Structure 1
Amino acid sequence: MIRIFFITTAVAALLVSCQKPSSASNPNPDELLVENFGKIQDGRDAHLYTLTNANGMVARITDFGATLVSLTAPDKEGQLSDITLGYDSVTGYDSDENPYFGCSVGRYGNRIAHGKFSLDGKDYQLATNNDPGGIPCHLHGGDRGFGRRLWTLEEHTPSSLTLKYVSADGEEGYPGTLTAKVVYRLTDDNELIWEATATTDAPTIVNLVHHTYWNLSADPVTSINDHRLTLNADHYLPTNAGLIPTGERAPVAGTPMDFTEPTPIGQRVEADFEALKLGLGYDHCWVLNEAADGELGLAARLEDPKTGRVMELLTNQPAIQFYGGNFLDGTITGKNGTVYEHRAAVCLETESFPDAPNQEGFPSPVLRPGETYRHVMVHRFSAKP
């Protein structure tokens, strides 16, 4: 039986900061390392769990928002460094300024037009907590979505853990009691696997999304514009001024939206192209060429040419939202007092289509009793000389 091993915050921080693979990153390899991560606004304690693999990689996850707080990955010299943005304690994550750093978003990730949808002949009104272009929409689950909820640790090993959250019928306006689980696994193949499942007692809509901000250089004061991105997608979803899909699936060929070959993110981000103007850069959904049948397919490949770090992303979902950190503006202070400037990170969020509840031509996001929703993301890390 695997036991939970509690350590102090100072010792945990020291262990996680180790830059070379070492079994000393976990003094008790058969136990899960846990530390207190501070109190959330209602006074309850949040916890930080540390996962390790045989190669010295370390992933830290908090039960607040089922959030990935940090992940170390090796560069071409074998140096391990944290490649995510975030905060030093739960206080930052439980604040209004938090732009969904690392969290598990739900009940419905991305946008729903005007916060409205109909299901089985009944109309529902959700919070309109976002208004790009002056057009209100429901974003990432509402005023206090799954990324701002305290989850329960259900199962664990030194390299994996399962977190559970039960969303009551009517929470944030959604119908049905939804039982969601998120599993994090850190494998010896240098893969971080995020897997979300959900069941419901009444028809509802579901789109659980993982929202980590990546900077493979491990230097978050630098832009990700020089990162080379490949998206396995021949089409994207054009949007209106409110960043809601119009229903069209447009070809990427001959446009700045074409990442079918490795391309620096910043190469065309300022191009005179309507989609980029509406999103103030890249903040759009691409339709994946693979994974539409529910099996794992390659979605994206991200590479930092300086450090050699590579992240490949596989998923069973039909789409991926590529967000280039356009709204990071130097007003957020994150880990170790770092100020996160414009385009300091990139988000690659596999998902169902935005506004799918209102678009007949999109894959259905409806989950009914007796069915199980399942979303898998495999983040595969390597380094090239």
Structure 2
Amino acid sequence: MNVTKTIFGEIDNRRVESYTITNNHGMTVKFINYGCIITDIMVPDREGKLENVVLGYDTIEEYLNERAYFGAIIGRVAGRITGAQFELDGETYTLEQNENSNHLHGGFHGFNRVIWDAAIIEEQDTKGVEFTYVSQDGEGGYPGTLKMSVKYLLNNENEFTIHITGLSDKKTILNCTNHSYFNLSGDIKRDILDHTLTLKCEKFLPINEQLLPTGDLADVAGTPFDFQNGQKIREGTRTEYPQNLLAGKGYDHPFVLDANQDQEILLEDQESGRMLIVETNQPGVVIYTSNQLQGDFKIRGVQAQPYLGICLETQGLPDAIHHPHFPTIVLEKEKQYNAITKYRFGVI
């Protein structure tokens, strides 16, 4: 196994670096220190052919101009916050309104928009990189000076792990995720409509017209949201079920995980033979089927269009600060935030 570093580009006279980890089986993960963006994950299909299974770009200029959050670490808080404000211990904090009147994915200058410091990790059975960033008190409107760490680690079992920690000098809120768009066909040969998704989830969170959770917990049984026994993504795009229509004919919904670190998320592509198992210590996962991915731009030569990728955003439940019955995203002073997600690639 090895880790290499190259120059990816430059932002305001600051160098953006690209890191590549390759294991003994040829699996490769590439990422940059701008936004901790994962640009490539190369894994074999059933014939052993290595191809990229995430959406991304080849230049820093493309990442600076895009709004899809391809491959980035999202924070301080993933998802939307109603009215771009919240209350903590009687004090109201006002955040940046970057989606209508709401706050989305950490605001205009969230974790996805900063250059992180980086250090290579070389252990006996694992290679990786640790990214660090200090988010100052008041940044984006959030309280507390927050010391963040993101570790990207790869081993020879074709397991890629993301380990995110945070430590604040004030009580604050924190809920991070990675926003990679997966497409197991390889090099975006097809869309993800015939990918099969299996989730250990009996409940999902309905959303309103602003794509915010209503606060309800709904049963998946009898709906297009029942992935307990596996279902193709296509099913949610051709139904008249109101929640699918609200999301733009697909999914942009949080699911409540019934299990943790127990093969709770499975994505499969029968044609390529690739499969991805996702395990996490987080309470939920937001499934987004790139329903809004469109515009006059290309993704490595492929015209932008809906359903080119699926996001499996493991995290706390969105807008939890406004729903006391959701698991809390409040981070106490000097108490460590700890989020771990493992992606294990294989073949069917």
Distance 1:249 1:172 in 2: 30
How far does residue 209 in structure 1 lie from its aligned partner after superposition? 0.6
Give the equivalent residue in structure 2 for 1:210: 178
Distance 2:215 2:111 in 1: 27
Give the equivalent residue in structure 1 for 2:47: 77
Aligned residues with identical type, % of pairs = 38
Give the equivalent residue in structure 2 for 1:34: 5
Give the equivalent residue in structure 2 for 1:18: none
Q: Is 1:316 aligned with 2:286?
A: no
Distance 1:221 1:278 in 2: 28
Q: Is 1:108 aligned with 2:77?
A: yes
Query: Contact 1:195–1:375 (CA<8 Å) still a contact in 2?
Result: yes
Q: Is 1:46 aligned with 2:16?
A: yes
How far does residue 107 in structure 1 lie from its aligned partner after superposition? 0.5
Residues 101 and 289 of structure 1: CA distance in aligned 2, closer, same or farther (over 3 Å): same
Residues 144 and 317 of structure 1: CA distance in aligned 2, closer, same or farther (over 3 Å): same
- The amino acid that maps onto 2:6 is E
Q: How does 1:1-385 map to 2 (within 5 A)?
A: 32-40=3-11, 42-95=12-65, 97-131=66-100, 136-157=101-122, 159-280=127-248, 281-291=250-260, 296-335=261-300, 337-384=301-348
Of residues 339-348 and 55-64 in structure 1, the stretch that sits farther from structure 2 once superposed is 339-348
Distance 2:143 2:85 in 1: 13
- The amino acid that maps onto 2:264 is A
How far does residue 91 in structure 1 lie from its aligned partner after superposition? 1.5
How far does residue 181 in structure 1 lie from its aligned partner after superposition? 0.5
TM-score (norm 2): 0.96
Distance 2:29 2:117 in 1: 18
How far does residue 338 in structure 1 lie from its aligned partner after superposition? 2.6
Distance 2:174 2:214 in 1: 20
Distance 2:342 2:59 in 1: 26
Partner of 2:181, secondary structure, is: coil
Of residues 347-356 and 122-131 in structure 1, the stretch that sits farther from structure 2 once superposed is 122-131
Cα RMSD after superposing both structures = 1.3
Distance 2:213 2:232 in 1: 25
Please list the CA deviations of residues 102-126 of structure 1 after superposition, one character each: whole Å capped at 9, or x if unmatched: 0111000111111110011100111
Distance 1:297 1:102 in 2: 24
Query: Contact 2:236–2:244 (CA<8 Å) still a contact in 1?
Result: no
Partner of 1:376, secondary structure, is: strand
How far does residue 221 in structure 1 lie from its aligned partner after superposition? 4.9
Query: Contact 2:206–2:217 (CA<8 Å) still a contact in 1?
Result: yes
Distance 1:332 1:347 in 2: 20
Give structure 1 regions of 4+ aligned residues with deviation exceeding 6 angstroms.
none
Of residues 344-353 and 215-224 in structure 1, the stretch that sits farther from structure 2 once superposed is 215-224
Distance 1:353 1:216 in 2: 26
Distance 2:316 2:202 in 1: 17
Partner of 1:253, secondary structure, is: coil
Partner of 1:357, secondary structure, is: helix
Query: Contact 2:252–2:289 (CA<8 Å) still a contact in 1?
Result: yes
Query: Contact 1:238–1:249 (CA<8 Å) still a contact in 2?
Result: yes
Please list the CA deviations of residues 326-353 of structure 1 after superposition, one character each: whole Å capped at 9, or x if unmatched: 0112433222x33232211100000001
Partner of 2:178, secondary structure, is: strand
Gaps of 5+ in 2: none
Please list the CA deviations of residues 147-193 of structure 1 after superposition, one character each: whole Å capped at 9, or x if unmatched: 11100013422821100011000001000001111001111000111
Distance 2:283 2:27 in 1: 29
Query: Contact 1:315–1:377 (CA<8 Å) still a contact in 2?
Result: yes
Give the equivalent residue in structure 2 for 1:6: none
Gaps of 5+ in 1: 1-28
- The amino acid that maps onto 2:205 is L
Distance 1:91 1:166 in 2: 24
Distance 1:33 1:268 in 2: 41
Distance 1:273 1:356 in 2: 25
Distance 1:238 1:176 in 2: 31
How far does residue 240 in structure 1 lie from its aligned partner after superposition? 1.2
- The amino acid that maps onto 1:283 is D
- The amino acid that maps onto 1:348 is L
